[in-house]
Chain A
Amino acid sequence: MNCHELENIARDVAQDELMDVALREAALSHADSCAYCATRLTDERALTHGLRRLALAAESAEAPARVETLLLAAFREQRSDGAAPVSVSALVANRRWLYVGVGIAAAIVIVVLIALIASRPNREPAAPREAKDSPGTFQAPPSPAPEPQPERRPLARHSPDRERQPIRRANSSPQSGHRVVDNGQSGRDMEIATDFFPLMNREGLAEMDSGQVVRVELPRLALMSFGLPMDMDRAGERIKADVVVGNDGLARAIRFVR
Protein backbone atom coordinates (compact mmCIF):
# COMPACT_ATOMS: atom_id res chain seq x y z
CA MET A 1 0.00 0.00 0.00
CA ASN A 2 1.19 3.52 -0.72
CA CYS A 3 0.35 6.88 0.85
CA HIS A 4 -2.33 7.70 -1.72
CA GLU A 5 -4.17 4.44 -1.14
CA LEU A 6 -4.05 4.93 2.60
CA GLU A 7 -5.37 8.46 2.20
CA ASN A 8 -8.50 7.05 0.56
CA ILE A 9 -9.30 4.68 3.42
CA ALA A 10 -7.93 6.69 6.35
CA ARG A 11 -11.41 7.56 7.65
CA ASP A 12 -12.60 3.96 7.47
CA VAL A 13 -9.48 2.73 9.28
CA ALA A 14 -9.76 5.45 11.92
CA GLN A 15 -13.43 4.67 12.53
CA ASP A 16 -12.78 0.93 12.76
CA GLU A 17 -15.45 0.36 10.16
CA LEU A 18 -16.02 -3.06 8.75
CA MET A 19 -13.53 -3.59 5.97
CA ASP A 20 -11.32 -6.17 4.39
CA VAL A 21 -8.93 -7.45 7.07
CA ALA A 22 -6.05 -7.64 4.61
CA LEU A 23 -6.65 -4.05 3.55
CA ARG A 24 -6.65 -2.86 7.15
CA GLU A 25 -3.47 -4.77 7.92
CA ALA A 26 -1.81 -3.29 4.86
CA ALA A 27 -2.83 0.20 5.90
CA LEU A 28 -1.54 -0.22 9.43
CA SER A 29 1.62 -1.79 8.19
CA HIS A 30 2.22 1.13 5.83
CA ALA A 31 1.54 3.62 8.64
CA ASP A 32 4.17 1.88 10.75
CA SER A 33 6.77 2.53 8.12
CA CYS A 34 5.65 5.99 6.96
CA ALA A 35 5.81 8.89 9.39
CA TYR A 36 3.48 11.07 7.27
CA CYS A 37 0.77 8.40 7.10
CA ALA A 38 1.21 7.57 10.78
CA THR A 39 0.51 11.23 11.62
CA ARG A 40 -2.36 11.26 9.15
CA LEU A 41 -3.93 8.23 10.78
CA THR A 42 -3.41 9.67 14.25
CA ASP A 43 -5.12 12.90 13.20
CA GLU A 44 -8.01 10.95 11.67
CA ARG A 45 -8.42 8.96 14.87
CA ALA A 46 -8.36 12.13 16.98
CA LEU A 47 -10.96 13.73 14.74
CA THR A 48 -13.14 10.64 14.81
CA HIS A 49 -12.87 10.54 18.58
CA GLY A 50 -13.79 14.22 18.85
CA LEU A 51 -16.74 13.84 16.50
CA ARG A 52 -18.04 10.90 18.49
CA ARG A 53 -17.83 12.91 21.68
CA LEU A 54 -19.57 15.79 19.98
CA ALA A 55 -22.33 13.48 18.77
CA LEU A 56 -22.67 12.06 22.29
CA ALA A 57 -22.83 15.53 23.80
CA ALA A 58 -25.75 16.39 21.51
CA GLU A 59 -27.47 13.06 21.97
CA SER A 60 -30.01 14.37 24.43
CA ALA A 61 -30.82 17.49 22.42
CA GLU A 62 -34.36 17.58 21.12
CA ALA A 63 -37.00 20.09 20.18
CA PRO A 64 -38.79 21.78 23.09
CA ALA A 65 -42.18 20.41 24.09
CA ARG A 66 -43.93 23.53 22.81
CA VAL A 67 -43.09 22.52 19.25
CA GLU A 68 -45.04 19.30 19.68
CA THR A 69 -47.95 21.23 21.17
CA LEU A 70 -48.02 23.64 18.27
CA LEU A 71 -47.73 20.89 15.71
CA LEU A 72 -50.54 18.91 17.26
CA ALA A 73 -52.72 22.02 17.15
CA ALA A 74 -51.77 22.47 13.52
CA PHE A 75 -52.52 18.81 12.83
CA ARG A 76 -55.97 19.11 14.40
CA GLU A 77 -56.68 22.24 12.43
CA GLN A 78 -55.56 20.59 9.23
CA ARG A 79 -57.73 17.58 9.98
CA SER A 80 -60.79 19.71 10.71
CA ASP A 81 -60.26 21.77 7.56
CA GLY A 82 -59.82 18.74 5.35
CA ALA A 83 -57.37 19.59 2.60
CA ALA A 84 -57.10 23.23 3.60
CA PRO A 85 -53.61 24.38 4.44
CA VAL A 86 -52.53 24.68 8.03
CA SER A 87 -53.44 28.05 9.44
CA VAL A 88 -50.67 30.44 10.26
CA SER A 89 -52.46 31.24 13.50
CA ALA A 90 -51.25 27.94 14.87
CA LEU A 91 -47.69 29.05 14.43
CA VAL A 92 -47.77 32.36 16.26
CA ALA A 93 -44.71 31.47 18.26
CA ASN A 94 -42.68 30.98 15.14
CA ARG A 95 -40.27 33.87 14.87
CA ARG A 96 -40.22 33.59 11.09
CA TRP A 97 -43.68 35.06 10.88
CA LEU A 98 -42.52 37.95 12.98
CA TYR A 99 -39.78 38.66 10.47
CA VAL A 100 -42.25 38.38 7.59
CA GLY A 101 -44.62 40.78 9.36
CA VAL A 102 -41.88 43.30 9.95
CA GLY A 103 -40.81 43.00 6.33
CA ILE A 104 -44.33 43.60 5.05
CA ALA A 105 -44.79 46.57 7.37
CA ALA A 106 -41.51 48.06 6.15
CA ALA A 107 -42.55 47.52 2.54
CA ILE A 108 -45.88 49.27 3.15
CA VAL A 109 -44.11 52.24 4.74
CA ILE A 110 -41.75 52.50 1.76
CA VAL A 111 -44.62 52.31 -0.74
CA VAL A 112 -46.55 55.01 1.13
CA LEU A 113 -43.49 57.24 1.21
CA ILE A 114 -42.88 56.76 -2.50
CA ALA A 115 -46.54 57.50 -3.23
CA LEU A 116 -46.37 60.69 -1.16
CA ILE A 117 -43.23 61.83 -2.90
CA ALA A 118 -44.63 60.99 -6.32
CA SER A 119 -47.87 62.86 -5.66
CA ARG A 120 -46.24 66.01 -4.31
CA PRO A 121 -45.74 67.82 -7.69
CA ASN A 122 -49.42 67.33 -8.62
CA ARG A 123 -50.54 69.12 -5.46
CA GLU A 124 -48.56 72.25 -6.11
CA PRO A 125 -50.59 75.30 -7.05
CA ALA A 126 -50.99 76.15 -10.72
CA ALA A 127 -48.76 79.17 -10.35
CA PRO A 128 -45.85 79.38 -12.79
CA ARG A 129 -43.17 77.02 -11.76
CA GLU A 130 -40.02 75.56 -13.18
CA ALA A 131 -39.96 72.08 -14.55
CA LYS A 132 -38.58 69.57 -12.11
CA ASP A 133 -36.54 66.73 -13.47
CA SER A 134 -35.93 63.59 -11.63
CA PRO A 135 -32.24 62.87 -11.02
CA GLY A 136 -30.52 61.72 -14.15
CA THR A 137 -33.24 62.79 -16.52
CA PHE A 138 -32.56 65.09 -19.38
CA GLN A 139 -32.98 68.84 -18.91
CA ALA A 140 -34.73 69.72 -22.12
CA PRO A 141 -34.49 73.15 -23.71
CA PRO A 142 -37.75 75.09 -24.10
CA SER A 143 -40.22 73.10 -26.14
CA PRO A 144 -41.76 74.66 -29.22
CA ALA A 145 -45.14 73.52 -27.96
CA PRO A 146 -47.01 76.01 -25.79
CA GLU A 147 -46.27 75.15 -22.20
CA PRO A 148 -47.40 77.71 -19.71
CA GLN A 149 -47.18 75.32 -16.76
CA PRO A 150 -44.95 72.41 -17.63
CA GLU A 151 -44.85 69.40 -15.42
CA ARG A 152 -42.24 66.91 -16.52
CA ARG A 153 -42.49 63.19 -16.14
CA PRO A 154 -39.83 60.81 -17.41
CA LEU A 155 -40.85 58.91 -20.49
CA ALA A 156 -39.39 55.81 -18.91
CA ARG A 157 -42.56 55.47 -16.83
CA HIS A 158 -44.26 54.28 -20.01
CA SER A 159 -42.82 51.58 -22.15
CA PRO A 160 -41.54 52.88 -25.48
CA ASP A 161 -43.89 50.58 -27.38
CA ARG A 162 -46.91 51.88 -25.54
CA GLU A 163 -45.90 55.41 -26.36
CA ARG A 164 -45.06 54.97 -29.99
CA GLN A 165 -47.89 52.77 -31.15
CA PRO A 166 -50.65 55.27 -30.36
CA ILE A 167 -48.78 57.95 -32.28
CA ARG A 168 -49.06 55.90 -35.44
CA ARG A 169 -52.68 54.98 -34.81
CA ALA A 170 -53.63 58.53 -34.14
CA ASN A 171 -53.51 59.37 -37.83
CA SER A 172 -56.26 56.91 -38.60
CA SER A 173 -58.82 57.55 -35.87
CA PRO A 174 -57.95 60.25 -33.45
CA GLN A 175 -61.54 60.59 -32.33
CA SER A 176 -61.83 57.09 -30.93
CA GLY A 177 -58.49 57.05 -29.23
CA HIS A 178 -59.53 57.79 -25.67
CA ARG A 179 -57.85 55.71 -23.02
CA VAL A 180 -57.50 55.52 -19.31
CA VAL A 181 -54.10 56.71 -18.21
CA ASP A 182 -52.66 55.29 -15.05
CA ASN A 183 -50.77 58.17 -13.57
CA GLY A 184 -49.30 56.01 -10.88
CA GLN A 185 -51.83 57.10 -8.27
CA SER A 186 -54.95 55.54 -6.86
CA GLY A 187 -57.89 54.51 -9.03
CA ARG A 188 -59.94 57.61 -8.23
CA ASP A 189 -57.18 59.74 -9.79
CA MET A 190 -57.29 57.89 -13.09
CA GLU A 191 -57.26 60.19 -16.09
CA ILE A 192 -58.83 59.75 -19.48
CA ALA A 193 -56.58 60.68 -22.35
CA THR A 194 -56.69 60.76 -26.12
CA ASP A 195 -54.14 58.94 -28.20
CA PHE A 196 -50.96 60.82 -28.93
CA PHE A 197 -51.13 63.11 -31.96
CA PRO A 198 -47.83 63.45 -33.80
CA LEU A 199 -46.47 66.97 -34.00
CA MET A 200 -43.94 66.17 -36.74
CA ASN A 201 -43.49 63.76 -39.61
CA ARG A 202 -42.60 60.09 -39.33
CA GLU A 203 -38.85 60.70 -39.84
CA GLY A 204 -38.84 63.15 -36.97
CA LEU A 205 -40.61 60.65 -34.76
CA ALA A 206 -38.19 57.91 -35.71
CA GLU A 207 -35.21 60.02 -34.70
CA MET A 208 -36.38 60.13 -31.09
CA ASP A 209 -34.88 57.34 -29.04
CA SER A 210 -35.65 58.74 -25.64
CA GLY A 211 -37.29 61.70 -24.01
CA GLN A 212 -39.95 62.54 -21.51
CA VAL A 213 -43.59 63.39 -21.16
CA VAL A 214 -44.27 66.94 -20.05
CA ARG A 215 -47.64 67.82 -18.55
CA VAL A 216 -48.88 71.24 -19.78
CA GLU A 217 -52.12 73.18 -19.78
CA LEU A 218 -53.49 74.65 -23.01
CA PRO A 219 -56.56 76.63 -24.01
CA ARG A 220 -59.37 74.24 -24.90
CA LEU A 221 -59.38 75.74 -28.37
CA ALA A 222 -56.30 73.61 -29.01
CA LEU A 223 -58.64 70.60 -29.17
CA MET A 224 -60.11 71.94 -32.35
CA SER A 225 -56.75 72.23 -34.07
CA PHE A 226 -56.42 68.45 -33.72
CA GLY A 227 -59.94 67.78 -34.99
CA LEU A 228 -61.38 66.99 -31.60
CA PRO A 229 -64.87 68.12 -30.59
CA MET A 230 -65.05 71.03 -28.18
CA ASP A 231 -67.81 72.69 -26.20
CA MET A 232 -67.70 76.31 -27.30
CA ASP A 233 -69.15 77.43 -23.96
CA ARG A 234 -65.96 76.26 -22.30
CA ALA A 235 -63.61 77.67 -24.89
CA GLY A 236 -62.04 79.95 -22.34
CA GLU A 237 -61.11 77.13 -20.03
CA ARG A 238 -57.84 75.28 -20.08
CA ILE A 239 -57.20 71.61 -20.66
CA LYS A 240 -54.33 69.42 -19.57
CA ALA A 241 -52.12 67.82 -22.17
CA ASP A 242 -49.07 65.56 -22.20
CA VAL A 243 -46.35 66.58 -24.63
CA VAL A 244 -43.71 64.05 -25.66
CA VAL A 245 -40.40 65.91 -25.74
CA GLY A 246 -37.43 64.19 -27.34
CA ASN A 247 -33.93 64.36 -25.93
CA ASP A 248 -33.21 67.08 -28.52
CA GLY A 249 -35.82 69.23 -26.84
CA LEU A 250 -38.31 69.08 -29.70
CA ALA A 251 -41.95 68.25 -29.04
CA ARG A 252 -42.88 65.06 -30.90
CA ALA A 253 -46.47 64.37 -29.95
CA ILE A 254 -49.30 65.50 -27.76
CA ARG A 255 -52.31 64.00 -26.09
CA PHE A 256 -55.12 65.64 -24.19
CA VAL A 257 -55.99 64.54 -20.69
CA ARG A 258 -59.21 64.89 -18.73
Chain B
Amino acid sequence: MTQPAIPSDLDLLRLVMAGDEDAFTQLYRRRQAGVYRFALQMSGSEALAEDVTQEVFIVLIREAVRYDPNRGSLAAYLYGIARNHVLRRLEQDRPFVRLAESDDETDANASSGTIAGDNPLEELTRNEMIDALRNSILALPAHYREVVVLCDLHEMSYIDAAKVVGCAVGTVRSRLHRARALLIEKMRAGRERGQAADEAKPLRCFA
Protein backbone atom coordinates (compact mmCIF):
# COMPACT_ATOMS: atom_id res chain seq x y z
CA MET B 1 0.00 0.00 0.00
CA THR B 2 1.49 3.33 -1.06
CA GLN B 3 1.21 6.62 0.78
CA PRO B 4 -0.47 9.41 -1.17
CA ALA B 5 2.23 11.70 -2.54
CA ILE B 6 2.50 15.05 -0.79
CA PRO B 7 2.44 17.77 -3.41
CA SER B 8 5.37 20.13 -3.42
CA ASP B 9 4.96 23.87 -2.97
CA LEU B 10 5.54 24.32 -6.67
CA ASP B 11 2.85 21.79 -7.57
CA LEU B 12 0.41 23.58 -5.29
CA LEU B 13 1.35 26.95 -6.71
CA ARG B 14 0.65 25.74 -10.23
CA LEU B 15 -2.78 24.59 -9.10
CA VAL B 16 -3.33 27.92 -7.36
CA MET B 17 -2.53 29.71 -10.58
CA ALA B 18 -5.10 27.51 -12.29
CA GLY B 19 -7.69 28.67 -9.75
CA ASP B 20 -7.69 25.66 -7.42
CA GLU B 21 -8.96 26.90 -4.07
CA ASP B 22 -8.09 23.71 -2.20
CA ALA B 23 -4.52 24.02 -3.38
CA PHE B 24 -4.39 27.59 -2.13
CA THR B 25 -5.78 26.53 1.25
CA GLN B 26 -3.23 23.75 1.50
CA LEU B 27 -0.37 26.03 0.52
CA TYR B 28 -1.52 28.73 2.91
CA ARG B 29 -1.80 26.32 5.84
CA ARG B 30 1.62 24.94 5.07
CA ARG B 31 3.39 28.31 4.93
CA GLN B 32 1.40 30.82 6.95
CA ALA B 33 2.84 29.96 10.36
CA GLY B 34 6.43 30.56 9.27
CA VAL B 35 5.56 33.86 7.66
CA TYR B 36 3.49 34.94 10.65
CA ARG B 37 6.20 33.99 13.16
CA PHE B 38 8.86 35.74 11.13
CA ALA B 39 6.82 38.95 11.07
CA LEU B 40 6.01 38.58 14.76
CA GLN B 41 9.60 38.00 15.77
CA MET B 42 10.78 40.87 13.61
CA SER B 43 8.24 43.35 14.93
CA GLY B 44 6.99 42.10 18.29
CA SER B 45 3.50 43.04 17.14
CA GLU B 46 0.75 40.50 16.56
CA ALA B 47 -1.33 43.02 14.63
CA LEU B 48 1.52 43.77 12.26
CA ALA B 49 2.31 40.07 11.86
CA GLU B 50 -1.32 39.43 10.95
CA ASP B 51 -1.35 42.22 8.39
CA VAL B 52 1.93 41.12 6.87
CA THR B 53 0.80 37.51 6.58
CA GLN B 54 -2.31 38.67 4.80
CA GLU B 55 -0.35 40.91 2.46
CA VAL B 56 2.16 38.18 1.60
CA PHE B 57 -0.54 35.79 0.46
CA ILE B 58 -2.44 38.52 -1.33
CA VAL B 59 0.72 39.09 -3.35
CA LEU B 60 0.84 35.37 -4.03
CA ILE B 61 -2.77 35.40 -5.23
CA ARG B 62 -2.21 38.40 -7.44
CA GLU B 63 1.26 37.80 -8.75
CA ALA B 64 2.04 34.12 -8.45
CA VAL B 65 3.60 34.25 -11.89
CA ARG B 66 6.40 36.42 -10.53
CA TYR B 67 7.81 33.55 -8.53
CA ASP B 68 10.83 32.03 -10.24
CA PRO B 69 11.67 28.54 -8.90
CA ASN B 70 15.20 28.90 -10.24
CA ARG B 71 15.91 31.69 -7.79
CA GLY B 72 15.00 29.85 -4.63
CA SER B 73 12.31 28.00 -2.76
CA LEU B 74 8.76 29.28 -2.49
CA ALA B 75 9.23 29.56 1.27
CA ALA B 76 12.22 31.86 0.78
CA TYR B 77 10.17 33.86 -1.74
CA LEU B 78 7.35 34.30 0.77
CA TYR B 79 9.80 35.23 3.54
CA GLY B 80 11.32 37.80 1.20
CA ILE B 81 7.93 39.42 0.59
CA ALA B 82 7.22 39.32 4.31
CA ARG B 83 10.57 40.93 5.06
CA ASN B 84 9.90 43.81 2.68
CA HIS B 85 6.47 44.42 4.19
CA VAL B 86 7.78 44.21 7.75
CA LEU B 87 10.62 46.64 7.12
CA ARG B 88 8.26 49.06 5.39
CA ARG B 89 5.79 48.91 8.24
CA LEU B 90 8.49 49.30 10.85
CA GLU B 91 9.79 52.33 8.99
CA GLN B 92 6.29 53.81 8.91
CA ASP B 93 5.68 53.07 12.57
CA ARG B 94 9.06 54.30 13.73
CA PRO B 95 7.65 57.38 15.51
CA PHE B 96 5.60 55.10 17.71
CA VAL B 97 7.31 53.58 20.70
CA ARG B 98 6.58 49.94 21.29
CA LEU B 99 4.89 49.44 24.60
CA ALA B 100 4.96 46.38 26.79
CA GLU B 101 3.05 43.32 25.72
CA SER B 102 -0.63 43.26 26.47
CA ASP B 103 -1.89 42.38 29.90
CA ASP B 104 -3.41 39.20 28.53
CA GLU B 105 -0.08 38.03 27.27
CA THR B 106 1.70 38.97 30.47
CA ASP B 107 -0.87 37.08 32.43
CA ALA B 108 -0.52 34.12 30.13
CA ASN B 109 3.23 34.12 30.60
CA ALA B 110 2.90 34.41 34.32
CA SER B 111 0.38 31.62 34.54
CA SER B 112 2.42 29.39 32.29
CA GLY B 113 5.36 30.09 34.55
CA THR B 114 3.51 28.89 37.59
CA ILE B 115 2.12 25.68 36.22
CA ALA B 116 4.44 24.53 33.49
CA GLY B 117 7.45 23.14 35.27
CA ASP B 118 8.27 21.07 38.31
CA ASN B 119 10.08 24.01 39.84
CA PRO B 120 7.91 27.10 39.37
CA LEU B 121 10.63 29.59 40.29
CA GLU B 122 13.08 28.03 37.90
CA GLU B 123 10.48 28.08 35.16
CA LEU B 124 9.68 31.71 35.90
CA THR B 125 13.35 32.60 35.66
CA ARG B 126 13.57 30.81 32.35
CA ASN B 127 10.53 32.68 31.06
CA GLU B 128 12.05 35.96 32.18
CA MET B 129 15.23 35.04 30.38
CA ILE B 130 13.29 34.27 27.21
CA ASP B 131 11.42 37.57 27.49
CA ALA B 132 14.69 39.41 27.96
CA LEU B 133 16.17 37.65 24.94
CA ARG B 134 13.09 38.42 22.87
CA ASN B 135 13.37 42.09 23.78
CA SER B 136 17.08 42.07 23.04
CA ILE B 137 16.40 40.68 19.56
CA LEU B 138 13.73 43.30 18.95
CA ALA B 139 16.19 45.98 19.99
CA LEU B 140 18.74 44.88 17.39
CA PRO B 141 19.05 46.89 14.19
CA ALA B 142 16.79 45.38 11.53
CA HIS B 143 19.61 43.98 9.38
CA TYR B 144 20.98 42.07 12.37
CA ARG B 145 17.57 41.11 13.69
CA GLU B 146 16.45 39.51 10.45
CA VAL B 147 19.42 37.16 10.22
CA VAL B 148 18.98 36.06 13.84
CA VAL B 149 15.30 35.39 13.23
CA LEU B 150 15.92 33.55 9.98
CA CYS B 151 19.02 31.53 10.88
CA ASP B 152 18.64 30.97 14.61
CA LEU B 153 14.90 31.00 15.22
CA HIS B 154 13.73 29.58 11.89
CA GLU B 155 16.85 27.46 11.38
CA MET B 156 17.20 28.63 7.83
CA SER B 157 20.45 27.92 6.01
CA TYR B 158 22.80 30.79 5.22
CA ILE B 159 22.05 30.30 1.53
CA ASP B 160 18.28 30.58 1.95
CA ALA B 161 18.64 33.49 4.35
CA ALA B 162 20.82 35.27 1.82
CA LYS B 163 18.07 34.82 -0.78
CA VAL B 164 15.46 36.22 1.57
CA VAL B 165 17.56 39.18 2.58
CA GLY B 166 18.96 39.70 -0.90
CA CYS B 167 22.63 39.75 -0.02
CA ALA B 168 25.71 37.53 -0.20
CA VAL B 169 26.05 34.46 1.99
CA GLY B 170 29.16 35.93 3.54
CA THR B 171 27.19 39.01 4.53
CA VAL B 172 24.62 36.87 6.29
CA ARG B 173 27.36 35.04 8.12
CA SER B 174 29.12 38.20 9.27
CA ARG B 175 25.86 39.88 10.27
CA LEU B 176 24.83 36.85 12.27
CA HIS B 177 28.20 36.77 13.98
CA ARG B 178 27.90 40.43 14.93
CA ALA B 179 24.27 40.07 15.98
CA ARG B 180 25.04 37.17 18.29
CA ALA B 181 27.92 39.09 19.80
CA LEU B 182 25.53 41.97 20.54
CA LEU B 183 23.02 39.58 22.11
CA ILE B 184 25.72 38.03 24.28
CA GLU B 185 26.77 41.49 25.45
CA LYS B 186 23.18 42.22 26.42
CA MET B 187 22.84 38.90 28.21
CA ARG B 188 26.02 39.57 30.15
CA ALA B 189 24.86 43.06 31.07
CA GLY B 190 21.53 41.63 32.21
CA ARG B 191 23.26 39.00 34.33
CA GLU B 192 25.50 41.63 35.91
CA ARG B 193 22.52 43.84 36.68
CA GLY B 194 20.76 40.88 38.24
CA GLN B 195 23.78 40.02 40.37
CA ALA B 196 24.16 43.64 41.47
CA ALA B 197 20.51 43.74 42.45
CA ASP B 198 20.82 40.53 44.42
CA GLU B 199 23.81 41.90 46.30
CA ALA B 200 22.08 45.21 46.96
CA LYS B 201 18.86 43.73 48.32
CA PRO B 202 20.06 42.89 51.86
CA LEU B 203 21.64 46.30 52.19
CA ARG B 204 18.35 47.93 51.31
CA CYS B 205 16.51 45.76 53.82
CA PHE B 206 18.76 46.79 56.66
CA ALA B 207 19.14 50.38 55.68
Contacts and interface: CB of A to CB of B under 8 A. Distances in A.
B28 A68 contact: yes
Contact of A70 (B40, B54, B154, B155): B54
Interface in B48-80: 49-51, 53-55, 57-58, 61-62
A72 to B, nearest CB: 7
Interface stretch (A20-28, A45-53, A104-112): A45-53
Interface in A31-51: 43-44, 46-48, 50-51
Interface string B33-57: 1011100110000010111011101
Contacts of A203: none
Contacts of A226: none
Contact of B50 (A57, A67, A74): A67
B161 interface: no
Contacts of A18: none
Question: Which of B35, B130, B154 has the largest number of chain A CB atoms within 10 A?
Answer: B130
B121 interface: no
A169 interface: no
A72 B25 contact: yes
Interface residues of B, number: 42
Contact of B129 (A48, A50, A95, A96): A50
Dominant secondary structure of chain A at its interface with chain B:
helix
A108 B171 CA distance: 45
Interface residues of A, number: 34
Interface of B: 19, 21, 24-25, 28-29, 32-33, 35-37, 40-41, 47, 49-51, 53-55, 57-58, 61-62, 126, 129-130, 133-134, 137, 148, 152-155, 176-177, 180, 183-184, 187-188
Interface of A: 8, 11, 43-44, 46-48, 50-51, 53-55, 57-58, 61-64, 67-68, 70-72, 74-76, 78-79, 85-86, 91, 94-96
28 contacts: A43-B184, A44-B180, A44-B184, A47-B183, A47-B184, A51-B148, A51-B153, A54-B133, A58-B40, A61-B37, A62-B36, A63-B32, A63-B36, A63-B54, A64-B50, A68-B29, A70-B54, A71-B54, A74-B61, A75-B61, A78-B62, A79-B19, A86-B62, A91-B58, A94-B51, A94-B54, A94-B55, A96-B55
